Chain A
Amino acid sequence: MDFQSCVNIKKEWDIVGARQLGRDIARKIGFGTVDQARIATAISELARNIYLYAGTGKVCFEALEDMNQKGIRILAIDSGPGIKELSQVMEDGFSTSGGLGAGLPGVKRLMDDFDITSEEGKGTEITVIKWLR
């Protein structure tokens, strides 16, 4: 998989950087304002998870184009502590940090495809895709 551009997440302000880059790419692909907001919000959630739980990681973007549809793929990857119970974090209202616990299930609803792999002690990798309709 060849990603066009990546943003390293180290500081809280890197979340904003990732969000802006993602929004720009989404706009170039042709997403409307509502989908741009969805994509920006999803990036914000993924990048914040990296910042909060793993400390460092990166968020990458790729414009997708095949015969009949266009879209954006976003990869959030870190080598943090990993997630113990994947099914648990996908439940609404589950949070280990006192937040709303809407982050990951919310991202899943904001985007079209959602894929997560995580290994305890190794890190987490989340890929999401939004198709242009």
Chain B
Amino acid sequence: MDEKLKNVVLEHSDDIVKMWLEEIDTHKKNDYTSTISEEMFESTNREFVNVIFSSIEKKGLSSDLDDFSERLINLGWPLSYLTDGMQVFRRVVTGYILQQSEKIDSDYFSKVLREVDDWVDPIINRLVNEYSGSWEHIVSLQRVALQELSAPLIPVMENITIMPLIGTIDTERAKQIMENLLDGVIKHNAEVVLIDITGVPVVDTMVAHHIIQAAEAVRLIGSRCILVGIRPEIAQTIVNLGIDLGKFPTKSSLRKGFQTALELTNRRIEETQNNDKDIERLIDSLDRE
């Protein structure tokens, strides 16, 4: 019985493929394929239906299916193309088989349905798994990449280190900021650490709390912390919230913070250009004499 149904389908594969292609074509009009060329779409359809038939024929999932789905994932085809395709296939095959049969009772009908499901479902499952697996892989890679970016520490010069923060700070990241800050202060032997929050969109009580804690921890290991990059609107919200940042110095920009840091480490910026001019003036005045 099972073999009979399968043979019916395989013998008439040409008809089924034709019906399937027609139906898929109507799907195409209303969605995802606007960016995909006509020939590409057609050749992919043919390949898709061949893959389906070969896996029905072999009574199992072939490596063709894996290759096919992998290629579509790489090309960025939507998953809905594949699931739609399989659903259409289910409909077409069921309809075709019932058309070919002489007597149809409910028993036969449910048998056909179950048989077709047995062909179609494993393929859908495999395709969906492949897709979600590749997404999960990408997400996990990006999470790692984001983590690497989340709390960078730059030793700009002896005794001065900068931590530029960009983007939202959540609890996980706050923890990393604290750890990297303290590790970095010890490792680079920093006297002054600048925390730059220019790129932090919102400073609420939680973010402020974490920054205060980090600054306090830096103080405990004998260094000083300057909070820089406080934008005017952030300053206003901090005041409104009633957060006390009086325990450590704050500056509006990294530049000003850096100057303060230099002062704290008994250094200053000297412009060499002006010195040259002074010397020139000196030589000029000497010449005149």
Contact = CB atoms under 8 A, between A and B. Distances in A.
Partners in one complex: yes
Interface in A65-117: 92, 99-100, 102-103, 105-106, 109-110
B242 A40 contact: no
Nearest to B206: A48
B236 A106 contact: no
Interface string B185-209: 0000000000000000111111011
A120 B206 CA distance: 25
A40 B170 contact: no
Count class of interface residues, chain B: 20 to 34
B240 A99 contact: no
Contacts of A12: 170-171
B234 interface: yes
Count class of interface residues, chain A: 20 to 34
A109 B240 contact: yes
Contacts of B212: 100
Interface in A16-65: 16, 19, 33-34, 36-38, 40-41, 44-45, 48
Q: Return the 7 tightest CB-CB contacts between A and B, nearest first.
A: A106-B241, A37-B233, A44-B204, A34-B233, A41-B237, A109-B240, A100-B205
20 contacts: A12-B170, A13-B170, A34-B232, A34-B236, A37-B237, A41-B202, A41-B203, A44-B206, A45-B204, A45-B205, A100-B208, A102-B242, A103-B241, A105-B242, A106-B205, A106-B240, A109-B240, A109-B242, A110-B237, A110-B241
Interface of A: 12-13, 16, 19, 33-34, 36-38, 40-41, 44-45, 48, 92, 99-100, 102-103, 105-106, 109-110
